[in-house]
Amino acid sequence: GAGVSQSPRYKVAKRGQDVALRCDPISGHVSLFWYQQALGQGPEFLTYFQNEAQLDKSGLPSDRFFAERPEGSVSTLKIQRTQQEDSAVYLCASSFSGSDYNEQFFGPGTRLTVL
């Protein structure tokens, strides 16, 4: 399949642990987005990459959250010293173009549970 993939699909962490969530976007897609979806809520924007450049990180909730996309393809969202309020589904999406609006294709998400 040529869709967006994310790994792991499920992650359980003890409070205070660091976690890394991976996103493989659709090949050739310039734009990559991370969203956080808390239980019973809609997805909320975290950060945006155009190729390897992180152009918007206004949605990252704290400095414990860090994202990178070093080669303009795979992206990793890292959460340091996880807290219970970080428990959510983390969704990655990619789209073909940068500046013009293009459909965003979502991955299945990583469900993070912090105990």
| Footprint on this chain of other proteins (rule: CB under 8 A) | 4, 31, 33, 35, 40-45, 48, 55-56, 59, 91, 93, 95, 99-109
Q: Which is nearer to other proteins, 34 or 86 (CB)?
A: 34
Give the nearest distance from C-beta 89 to other proteins in angstroms.
9
Q: Which is nearer to other proteins, 42 or 70 (CB)?
A: 42
Q: Which is nearer to other proteins, 28 or 40 (CB)?
A: 40
For residue 41, CA distances in Å to 21, 38, 58 come to: 20, 5, 19
Q: Residue 50 and residue 61: Cα distance in Å, rounded?
A: 20
Maximum pairwise Cα distance, the chain: 41
Q: Residue 83 and residue 64: Cα distance in Å, rounded?
A: 10
